Amino acid sequence: MKRALIFSLNYHPFIGGAEVAIREITDRIPERDIEFHLIAYRFDSLLPKTERIGQVVVHRVGIGRPGMTTAESFGMVAYLGKVLYAPLAAIAALALHRKHRFDFVWCMMAYMVFPVVLMRMMGVRIPYVLTLQEGDPFEHVFNRPHIQLVSPLLFYGIRRAAAIQTISRFLATWARRCGYEGTIVVIPNGVDVGRFSSVVHEPGIGTRLVTMSRLVHKNGIDTVIRALTLLPHDTTFTIYGDGPLRGELQALAASCKVADRVTFAGAIEHTRLTEELGKADIFIRASRSEGMGNAFIEAMAAGLPTIGTPVGGITDFLTDVRHTTGEEATGWFVAPDAPQDIADAVRHIQQNPEIVDRVTRKARRMVMEKYEWNLVAHDMQDLFRTITP
């Protein structure tokens, strides 16, 4: 049996695509093969410092705020947590390593190499796998002024990974841009196909658009809100997710006179996604950048027609029915920052039920064949087997 240590800034109950991936993958790898430990930041001081979640023993470091919610996690407490995480996680990792003797480390996203680099500076060198699944643009991740101050450590950590796993072909190019010359493996995030393919779609009035997105600039929520002004009044838009732009987006909906058609439903448990997808007619995310986008393939598995932009990792799985010959189309593409494109795609979906049926069937088959979590976990386990102390 191997022992592995995971560095992840967040973990349950604070979840996004990265945290879901960790849980889904580790739960599918038998404990007799790998024993997982994880170090996360303790944003909510009411959470236990150590607990077992599924197949992972979670260790939390730092001091947060009692009862801190997802909506509150965008303030100073969260910022300080991100700054303090690396040194606190490195210190905790050294103590855990003395006790458990880890065979390898798994760094979930680029910044998680910082604790590993600090451990190496303190004389402890453990091979590590780095997962890249960032959704923000390269410049945002690597070129902001406060990141450039520590970029030598960041690039040092990336270049010395035993292997880099990316969730899309697009992100694989990032590793090379950072100067990494080693093994790169593209293993996407996945879907619990059995759960999402059993979604029961409830009939409704008009056309119901839905998205599961952080309320940040890169996800293009504002573009969809503007598109509503070009669509019939019975076209509505429900947004599941939270983020720093919530107030700004609510003000935009009001100024566009579509506030009564836009519902800000807030963050929801991942277990509720299937129920909410069943209440929708079209999934949309007008991304300005995207590493991959778990929500797209979850919507496809649920049988929803899916609208996205041809940016980043989205092009790995979405092809436009209006520009693809044969039976290979899996969705509808729109340009970023193009409300008219969105309105045109929605109308195409509304007016062509036979095409929609063909495309959604193809998309669901593709998800079953390439993106099922069992397949993903198997590939990740094979990758972990290649990492030797």
Residues 286 and 308 in one domain: yes
Its domain, for residue 340, covers: 193-370
DSSP string, 173-184: HHHHHTT--SEE
CB of 127 within 8 A of CB of 116?
no
**75: DSSP letter:** S
pLDDT band at 272 (very low <50, low <70, confident <90, very high): confident
289-296: average pLDDT: 93
Residue with tokens 């041809």: 310
Residues 13 and 141 in one domain: yes
Instruction: Give the mean pLDDT of the chain.
Output: 93
- Quick one: pLDDT at residue 71? 44
272-311 burial code (b ≥16 CB/10 A, e <16):
ebbebbeebbbbbbbbbbbbbbbbbbbbbbbbbbbbbbbb
| Interaxial angle between packed helices 246-255 and 221-228, expressed in degrees from 0 to 180 and rounded to the nearest 10 | 20
Please write the tens of the pLDDT for every residue from 352-382: 999 999 999 999 999 999 999 999 999 999 9
Residues 361 and 256 in one domain: yes
CA distance 276 to 282: 12
Q: Looking at the 3D structure of the chain, how many domains does it have? A: 2
- Quick one: pLDDT at residue 57? 98
Residues 339 and 270 in one domain: yes
Residues 30 and 78 in one domain: yes
pLDDT greater than 70 at residue 69: no
pLDDT greater than 70 at residue 76: no
Residues 9 and 145 in one domain: yes
Residue-level length of the chain = 389
In the beta sheet, which residues pair with residue 7?
39, 107
Residues 104 and 129 in one domain: yes
- The domain spanning residue 160 has which CATH number? 3.40.50.2000
Please give the span between the terminal C-alpha atoms of the chain, in angstroms, as a whole number: 13
Residues 51 and 134 in one domain: yes
pLDDT band at 202 (very low <50, low <70, confident <90, very high): confident
- Quick one: pLDDT at residue 74? 55
Higher pLDDT, 327 or 374: 374
pLDDT greater than 60 at residue 70: no
Residues 57 and 12 in one domain: yes
Residues 376 and 286 in one domain: no
What's the CA angle centered on 322, arms 203 and 166, to 5 degrees? 85
pLDDT band at 77 (very low <50, low <70, confident <90, very high): low
295-311: average pLDDT: 96
Higher pLDDT, 14 or 48: 48
Of the chain, the percentage scoring pLDDT greater than 70 comes to: 97
Residues 87 and 230 in one domain: no
- Quick one: pLDDT at residue 63? 82
Residues 297 and 221 in one domain: yes
Measure Cα distances from 370 to 6, 186, 297, 301, 327 in Å: 25, 12, 10, 11, 17
pLDDT greater than 80 at residue 141: yes
